[in-house]
Structure 1
């Protein structure tokens, strides 16, 4: 007797087989490691491939692939990472950049990182035109926002670059969302805040920004300057306690100096809603600091 045939899907296509989701990522995996690992895992689940399928496509054992997908053990080399990325048809260039950042996080020697990359030759993919346009338009405001929280220009640029790389990896999801600019902005905020020190209440700590304002730098009297810094540190701390959208608009307009007319396009909100959030944020801050000029 012949074994029963699997029913065909509408249109005559063979039945779609969905693989079992991989086990959870190990707690020992660092933040940067998770940055590229999570999109890879999501693509595997969406593809419907099983771990056995991945074994046949990549040439690596099931045990090694399982460890890679869980972030278990030693940080994976680029060769096995590349084989999985290619098997899942994921853009290689952004994953490679994110892999290097995570390798530094894992205390890998620069020579080790360079040699692993050199051992695998691949062609750079062409960046999607729409993604390139978004990157060019949002690079400056994204970096300015990140620097308020991370202080260092280098760290701010890295956070923005990582955001655009993650966005490239998940570009299909971003472009099928109802609001691509909002999707991208929320990704940036998550990336930045995950790297920002936290106050005991859990809100971000941006008090250090008080040391680099233009106003206090122009004060010659040391005592007056220190008093001004203390007041501004309290003021910035109050900003960080605002609801997320209120905080974002306040940071962009008053700490980054972004043109108010440009902010709706940056955060993906309507001009009317952006204006309302700005008004409410200034009202809340003025109640706490009635003698302080918010614009100043």
Structure 2
């Protein structure tokens, strides 16, 4: 049984050596499982704690903790997940939401999930004020970008909230990074691309986003021509390098102004202008290159 004693936070940064990284995550762990497991492992590594330390602080055996950290075997119950992560000082509220999504991914029923959570009493965490300010600022732009690729409001909300929960778990690392906005964007983008429909060659498929554009909804006599042209345009956008595609999508599909995009991407305005210039030139070449028969 897990210890009921108070959690002991990790040593302050700079006072402990990095611990040995755990064994690699099992390939059987799904995307939602990795969403919380990766930041937890990162916290353990930077904390300087060992598996023996976690055994002492959580009350669980080294074997069970090792399996949890590898995502190996059965999906872990909330009780052991909470006990181990509490020993690491990981905030519970975002972790519980991520754990719940991963439990559903692992085909756990709602009754099992509810029972697991009810075994552990815990007050809600209060997110850091800078985190709250950052996520409130970025949510509109992030939502528009996610909707361009994921199409539905439900998928959009899920991936944005998932990103913000992971960011909360990793807030110490994110806030200490050289560029918080860039750190957060790259995290968010990776979660969107993980769930984006793709062509067989792996290229993102934006064709369905064409039907949300005003040109198609105008229902003018030339809408079939516009549809074909837009499909070609959106296919060209997804052939661009990552930064070029992001600038093009944010500006032309999401409607962000040139003043907003640098802050969202965490890039200097001059770099964003240069990236946009290269993106336009590349798209023009792609659209004017004859398709091989």
Fold equivalence (TM over 0.5):
yes
1:272 to 261, 270, 273: 270
Q: Structure 2 regions of 5+ residues with no counterpart?
A: 1-14, 289-293
For the Cα contact (< 8 Å) 1:18–1:50, is it kept in 2? no
- For this pair of structures, how many residues does the alignment match? 274
Bigger Rg over Cα:
1
For the Cα contact (< 8 Å) 1:203–1:241, is it kept in 2? yes
**What is the root-mean-square deviation in Å for CA atoms of aligned residues?**
1.7
Shift, 1:197, TM fit: 2.2
Give the match for residue 253 of structure 1: 251
Greater CA drift, 137-146 or 115-124: 115-124
- Within a 5 Å distance, the mapping from 1:226-265 to structure 2 comes to 226-265=224-263
- Within a 5 Å distance, the mapping from 1:220-231 to structure 2 comes to 221=221, 224-231=222-229
Q: TM-score if structure 2 supplies the norm length?
A: 0.88
* CA distance, structure 2, for counterparts of residue 108 and residue 256 of structure 1: 36
For the Cα contact (< 8 Å) 2:16–2:47, is it kept in 1? no
Give the match for residue 89 of structure 2: 89
SS of the residue corresponding to residue 260 of structure 2 reads: helix
C-alpha change, 1:220 and 1:241, in structure 2 (3 Å) is same
Query: Which deviations, in whole Å up to 9, do the C-alpha atoms of 1:184-226 show, x marking residues without a partner?
Result: 11111111111112223322111111122121122255xx434
Q: TM-score if structure 1 supplies the norm length?
A: 0.88
SS of the residue corresponding to residue 75 of structure 2 reads: coil
Shift, 1:16, TM fit: 5.1
Shift, 1:19, TM fit: 4.1
Query: Which deviations, in whole Å up to 9, do the C-alpha atoms of 1:135-188 show, x marking residues without a partner?
Result: 110001001101111111111111111111111111121111111111111111
Greater CA drift, 185-194 or 198-207: 198-207
Query: Which deviations, in whole Å up to 9, do the C-alpha atoms of 1:59-109 show, x marking residues without a partner?
Result: 112221111111111111111100011011111111111111111111111
For the Cα contact (< 8 Å) 2:236–2:287, is it kept in 1? no
Shift, 1:228, TM fit: 2.8
* Structure with more contact order per residue of length (Cα contacts < 8 Å, sep ≥ 6): 2
Give the match for residue 5 of structure 1: none
Q: Structure 1 regions of 5+ residues with no counterpart?
A: 1-14, 291-296
C-alpha change, 1:58 and 1:212, in structure 2 (3 Å) is same
